[in-house]
Amino acid sequence: MFITELSPLFQELTQHPVSFMGGFVSGVLRLNLADDPVKTWLDKHITPGGFSNPGTQAQNGKASGPQQISID
């Protein structure tokens, strides 16, 4: 009975370990995602599609998005 109640918890842990541990730590530390230090960090590091990679933002001055190539 006790194991069946905890099985969804372990299933989430095995499927998404990083996001699970991040949520677990923020819950243990009682971090509010709307508070200023956490909110500014999230605004800086998260894009609408998920986490951003700081190394790929510059793109050497090229515009992001689809690019056209020609193959001869």
SS3 of residue 59 by DSSP: helix
CB contact at 8 A, 63 and 57? no
Cβ neighbors of 46 (< 8 A, separation 6 or more) are: 52
pLDDT at 1: 65
- Which amino acid does the sequence have at 28? V
Structural domain boundaries in the chain: 2-48
pTM (2 d.p.) = 0.39
At 9-68, the pLDDT tens digits run 888 888 888 878 888 888 898 877 777 777 787 777 776 655 555 554 445 555 667 878
